[in-house]
Chain A
């Protein structure tokens, strides 16, 4: 009995994750990503390996979405899936990828979920957490619009496709045990990272495994830390984005950011924060709202993106998915009712005086944030705060090198005199977090996905040497096979149970010879006379190959009785 893991994507790389796992002769897929840098068919994982005929309904029993992925984090994670097969059932774990409006060359990596269900034709159930289900259509729709309107690309799917796809989605709550079919059972655990992110536990028969997706082991301003039960796992598949980094305190960087913003507004300058609708925007807003309150600042904060505003409506209803601190202050103070946030109107762009503006999309890749940037960048007292990573090719990326001029196109050049502040807190777990999780779960095997190869190798060595857990980091299209647990069922007699519950202590004397061997190693630990809890049991196999577990005394009775019968 074995669990075979075939990696189709995100093996020793960041992006396009796709792993097919075969447990006890059954297959599941975790995540199914697209690669952003490739534009031909190679950007998709080789779905034909799941089912050469394209009959995904029989090949997969369900899809699980671990979270809604938001791009404005340090690393770009592409929509990726991973398939694991457990006892006749395939689970597809997948990320929905939201890029918002990113640079043009990378616009075609959206909604692989919709693509997979509506275009490839998967009709099985799809599982995701409540926040993910609530926010997914919002993002997908926005994404689709970007594709069609900005790039003029042919529609890969339309709004109806999104609606159809969402109908197949079954929302799950944390810790709820969902019986997908007779054999397959799944359960979501809180993963931090982004609202609604979850780690998924899958169990078939006696084989158990956890797929983490992205997680964060340290609580954030609006989300809690990842939480999971102690489980008996055969396999843990974990992300390893920050495989070798140990991050310092976030508070210093938050402080720095707030100081920079405060300095700017008190000098009468304007602050532009280009950000995507979810996650970071809320976190920064909570941070700033809090700071405004404490410092009694009156400078208006504007939230431009309709998306962000809509997202806040969801955040307010999904308070239970945020951090404990926010939950506790509810209902007297809903952290998402930002007191200092004013309603955005176009006129504020030209209104003199200081202000803070959250504008979408992040990375200043177009839309309002680019428009505002064009207007404000030539002024020295403007501050552009870039939360998170900016893709090459975006204005944000260019801006990080602080050039005097940015050339948008041959006809448009912007003088850049503004200050630039880059914030780098990412909601991914770091090396310590990964090690803590593995230590806590102590699975029998670990597979690392989604990380850069050198980082994976060193993390793998660390896991192997520190915990003695076999660890693998397969490359794409490689297979790893690990044994899975199978239990044999036996019937235990009541007398046996009763005896077992009572301790049966016996004195045991170590012979001097044994002692002399032992004293070499642990002199002080082994006394000459030991108390031993006798734990011997008898296992009886009868004609029908049924196992019975009985106590010592019962065996004799059993044999004796049978003899008299003869």
Chain B
């Protein structure tokens, strides 16, 4: 087994990506996109004001507003990033760089662990020679599809704005242009040493998404699927997002567990099924969330973010191995805090903007906010603006099987799974496909609450809303982790509106990693190098631990041999040849080897060939010619040695012919004796004679 970490990812929107070679089958674990790398690109609104100087012909159309925002000529080298240093071009999307080092046609299986792990998949499926089987849970596939469709539709706006490009290679990617980008932004998009350039791709089309989705085989939790007979694949709930999962891969050479981002707190989605990951031969630990959140906090402490009014609330979900009410309430407290901030700003006459990030959190916020509004006896409209919002909300109400027990209780009580169904009926929530709806702008003068995409603040309705409201000190933007707030808000500076940063980083939690792994008891553990300093294992009692790092391949030795199943009816009929000296018994079988559900089966070959095929056995002795002839005559067989010579090539030492009572040829070689006769009965008769000689009787 070989394991290569292609990317350790960043946060829940950009899960890790690995390649696993399991007995010759190459398995790609997730295929994400790093959407935080959109930060260096300008949103369409900023470009709208900034570009007229570059494209004169557009000024006419926007004369009334264009005059105010003619930017100064761009300086060659700028150290400080500001909104004019953003890239004014159709953005390219950052895939996992290391993945491009692999030939896509050599990948056999792709496993998608979360809705976010699917975003880079259309890049892969449209590649020539790609023929891997893709597995994802039903919900991951559907939610992933919706996110991709939303992405494509949001990107369309930018595409229309910049118009068609003349060349395949954009101007901004030229060396001299790239150097103009401030280093902070350049690092985001090209990596520390600029090597990640190769991972950039222009976005796929809607057709690519459709094509990709069709290729996915959809699974339920704990459903067993078999790839080529040799690999049994099972997904188990990871408790992070609807449909997110961990994997168990069972092959004849042993089973491998893949532990992706998981959480013990799951008030919305099905609970983390860690029991099913117990006792594997190898376990790949790939929950980097804990590390990410600690890093993030450190980053923030070092940063001096000068935002008008910044309420920083960061917490790294400290979770227990077993469900804990206290920790549940911690999440609820966070939500309650956000709600109270939202209500406050509504009371102050401002609006609240919430970019949608994680679905579970989004739904919870939606419920909590609407409850808080009801409690405060205000009439505040709630808008959900996204091209896929309608589909998303409808879909989330028909997946009871994937939700937490509390949510399932609602099904059994005959209530809709989420409050939004009722809120929509009561017209408290308005779902709009885009920002250009009259309904929205008519009422938007009054305070309102808007949920919209995209959290990177570079795409979708949110950019228009921020453009319109960023100078309003009464309004509030709720940023949910993941992005660097200073850079994300760059295009909207100067910011007068309040920004609340919250952090929902579901994960196992650093202090729970060791107890969890001790419970799971894998034989071999593949553990991220980054965690080595944080978590130590008692080496002697615990399993063998292999540390892996990004871009490196670790080899895990498999056990020798494979298990094979023989039907008991067949096994009981073996004709054993005892070898007393070696203390073993030997049997020979003309059989058929089949593989099914990752297990080898040995069955009796029932084909006709068997009857006329040669049956043979193994003996350690060489028959002594005289003794053999004597025995033959005892058996009433008339035999004659016709030909006797040493022939090293054919290894035949002598040939015995029998004529009476049956015709047969017996060739005696250095290591074998071959009896050729017309019928099986004759052969077995001769064989018995030979056998008795060989056994030394």
- A residues at B contact (CB < 8 Å): 1, 130, 133-134, 137-138, 166, 171, 173-178, 206, 232, 310, 313-314, 316-320, 330-331, 334, 485-494, 497, 500, 508, 510-511, 513-514, 530, 532, 535-543, 547, 549, 555-556, 558-559, 562-563, 566
Given contacts A173-B401, A318-B398, A539-B587, contact A492 B564 (CB under 8 A): yes
A494 to chain B, nearest CB (A): 6
Query: Quick check: B671 and A556 within 8 Å, CB to CB?
Result: yes
Query: Quick check: A540 and B584 within 8 Å, CB to CB?
Result: yes
Query: Quick check: A331 and B390 within 8 Å, CB to CB?
Result: yes
Question: B612 — which chain A residues lie within 8 A by C-beta?
Answer: 508, 510, 514
Query: Quick check: A542 and B593 within 8 Å, CB to CB?
Result: no
Query: Quick check: B583 and A331 within 8 Å, CB to CB?
Result: no
**What are 30 sample pairs from A and B whose C-beta atoms fall under 8 A apart?**
A1-B568, A173-B221, A175-B223, A176-B220, A177-B223, A178-B222, A206-B565, A313-B414, A317-B400, A317-B411, A317-B416, A485-B567, A487-B568, A489-B564, A490-B563, A490-B566, A494-B560, A497-B561, A514-B612, A530-B609, A535-B605, A536-B591, A538-B586, A539-B589, A541-B586, A541-B587, A543-B584, A547-B571, A558-B584, A563-B620
Question: B618 — which chain A residues lie within 8 A by C-beta?
Answer: 538, 555-556, 559
| CB < 8 Å neighbour of B571 from A1, A320, A488, A508 | A488
Query: A488, A532, A540: which has the most chain B beta carbons within 10 Å?
Result: A488
> Does residue B395 face the partner (Cβ distance < 8 Å to A)?
yes
Question: A566 — which chain B residues lie within 8 A by C-beta?
Answer: 581
A444 to chain B, nearest CB (A): 11
Q: A175: nearest residue on chain B (CB-CB)?
A: B223
Q: B578: nearest residue on chain A (CB-CB)?
A: A541
Question: B535 — which chain A residues lie within 8 A by C-beta?
Answer: none
Question: B397 — which chain A residues lie within 8 A by C-beta?
Answer: 316-317
Given contacts A173-B401, A510-B612, A536-B590, contact A559 B579 (CB under 8 A): yes
B681 to chain A, nearest CB (A): 13
Question: B399 — which chain A residues lie within 8 A by C-beta?
Answer: 320
> Does residue B197 face the partner (Cβ distance < 8 Å to A)?
no
Given contacts A133-B412, A313-B414, A493-B561, contact A513 B678 (CB under 8 A): yes
> Does residue B391 face the partner (Cβ distance < 8 Å to A)?
yes
A270 to chain B, nearest CB (A): 30
Q: A538: nearest residue on chain B (CB-CB)?
A: B588
Question: B220 — which chain A residues lie within 8 A by C-beta?
Answer: 173-176
> Does residue B234 face the partner (Cβ distance < 8 Å to A)?
yes
Query: Quick check: A500 and B584 within 8 Å, CB to CB?
Result: no
- Count the B residues whose beta carbon is within 8 Å of the partner chain — how many? 61
Question: A175 — which chain B residues lie within 8 A by C-beta?
Answer: 220, 223-224
Q: Which 9 pairs across A and B sit closest by C-beta, in order of nearness?
A: A331-B394, A487-B565, A486-B568, A541-B585, A488-B571, A562-B582, A492-B564, A175-B223, A176-B222
Question: B587 — which chain A residues lie within 8 A by C-beta?
Answer: 538-541
> Does residue B576 face the partner (Cβ distance < 8 Å to A)?
yes
Query: Quick check: A317 and B565 within 8 Å, CB to CB?
Result: no
Question: A532 — which chain B residues lie within 8 A by C-beta?
Answer: 609, 613
Q: How far is the CA of A530 from the CA of B614 in the complex (A)?
A: 14
B620 to chain A, nearest CB (A): 5
A2 to chain B, nearest CB (A): 12
Question: A542 — which chain B residues lie within 8 A by C-beta?
Answer: 583-584
Given contacts A530-B609, A538-B618, contact A177 B222 (CB under 8 A): yes
Question: A508 — which chain B residues lie within 8 A by C-beta?
Answer: 609, 612-613
Q: B219: nearest residue on chain A (CB-CB)?
A: A175
Query: Quick check: B562 and A497 within 8 Å, CB to CB?
Result: yes
Q: How far is the CA of A216 from the CA of B44 in the complex (A)?
A: 55
Known: A489-B564, A536-B590. 6 other contacts (CB 8 A): A133-B412, A134-B412, A173-B220, A500-B593, A535-B590, A537-B593
Q: How far is the CA of A558 from the CA of B589 in the complex (A)?
A: 17
Q: How far is the CA of A487 from the CA of B602 in the complex (A)?
A: 10
Query: Quick check: B395 and A314 within 8 Å, CB to CB?
Result: no
B275 to chain A, nearest CB (A): 9
Question: B412 — which chain A residues lie within 8 A by C-beta?
Answer: 133-134, 137, 166
Q: How far is the CA of A486 from the CA of B414 in the complex (A)?
A: 46
Question: A1 — which chain B residues lie within 8 A by C-beta?
Answer: 568
Question: B671 — which chain A residues lie within 8 A by C-beta?
Answer: 556
Query: Quick check: A489 and B411 within 8 Å, CB to CB?
Result: no
Question: B620 — which chain A residues lie within 8 A by C-beta?
Answer: 559, 563
Question: A497 — which chain B residues lie within 8 A by C-beta?
Answer: 561-562, 600
Given contacts A508-B613, A514-B612, contact A489 B589 (CB under 8 A): no
Query: Quick check: A536 and B589 within 8 Å, CB to CB?
Result: yes
Q: How far is the CA of A130 from the CA of B402 in the complex (A)?
A: 11
> Does residue B408 face the partner (Cβ distance < 8 Å to A)?
yes
Q: How far is the CA of A310 from the CA of B612 in the complex (A)?
A: 69
Query: Quick check: A319 and B576 within 8 Å, CB to CB?
Result: no
Q: B676: nearest residue on chain A (CB-CB)?
A: A511
| CB < 8 Å neighbour of B400 from A206, A318, A538 | A318
Q: A548: nearest residue on chain B (CB-CB)?
A: B561
Query: Quick check: B561 and A492 within 8 Å, CB to CB?
Result: yes
Question: A558 — which chain B residues lie within 8 A by C-beta?
Answer: 582, 584
Query: Quick check: B567 and A487 within 8 Å, CB to CB?
Result: yes
> Does residue B179 face the partner (Cβ distance < 8 Å to A)?
no
B611 to chain A, nearest CB (A): 9
Q: How far is the CA of A178 from the CA of B593 in the complex (A)?
A: 29
Given contacts A319-B398, A532-B609, A559-B620, contact A540 B589 (CB under 8 A): no
B127 to chain A, nearest CB (A): 29
Chain B positions 546-571 with a Cβ under 8 Å from a chain A Cβ: 560-568, 571
Q: How far is the CA of A466 from the CA of B339 in the complex (A)?
A: 69
Q: How far is the CA of A485 from the CA of B567 in the complex (A)?
A: 7
Q: A541: nearest residue on chain B (CB-CB)?
A: B585
> Does residue B592 face the partner (Cβ distance < 8 Å to A)?
yes
Q: B416: nearest residue on chain A (CB-CB)?
A: A317
B402 to chain A, nearest CB (A): 9
> Does residue B542 face the partner (Cβ distance < 8 Å to A)?
no
Chain B positions 187-236 with a Cβ under 8 Å from a chain A Cβ: 220-224, 234
> Does residue B574 face the partner (Cβ distance < 8 Å to A)?
yes
Q: How far is the CA of A488 from the CA of B563 in the complex (A)?
A: 10
> Does residue B417 face the partner (Cβ distance < 8 Å to A)?
yes
B618 to chain A, nearest CB (A): 5
Query: Quick check: A539 and B613 within 8 Å, CB to CB?
Result: no
| CB < 8 Å neighbour of B586 from A166, A318, A490, A540 | A540
